[in-house]
Amino acid sequence: MAARIIVACGSGIATSQMVAKKIDRLLREKGVEADVAAVTKEALAEEAEGADAYVAVVKTEEDYDVPTFNGVAFLTGIGEDEELARLVEAVRDK
């Protein structure tokens, strides 16, 4: 079964969609099967309940009971390798 990863940004869904597509590609290159979905900030609490990981493009006020990763790293490329390694480790065997 594939891991479920959600990505959300502060407003709208364009940036989170871009980051989700990049994460999906990077995970496939590593041989990790995952369902990566961009979600709206408004749907985040509900979507986080069934997720194996949450990639936050913008810091939110809420904390969710799911491993959280820095989405800005995937947006800018700064620290991307380290964040990807953490994400792979968290979801590889889900």
Tens digits of per-residue pLDDT, 17-70?
999 999 999 999 999 999 999 998 888 999 999 999 999 998 777 888 999 999
Would you give the DSSP letter of residue 43? Answer: G
Cβ(70)–Cβ(83) under 8 Å? yes
Position 47 scores a pLDDT of: 93
> Which structural domain, as residue segments, surrounds residue 18?
3-91
Q: Is there a catalytic annotation at residue 23?
A: no
Average pLDDT over residues 5-27: 92
pTM of the model: 0.92
Q: Strand (E) positions, the chain?
A: 3-8, 34-38, 53-56, 68-70
Residue recorded with tokens 């940036």: 15
Catalytic residue among 9, 39, 55, 84: 9
CATH number of 65's domain: 3.40.50.2300
Position 77 scores a pLDDT of: 96
- How many structural domains does the chain have? 1
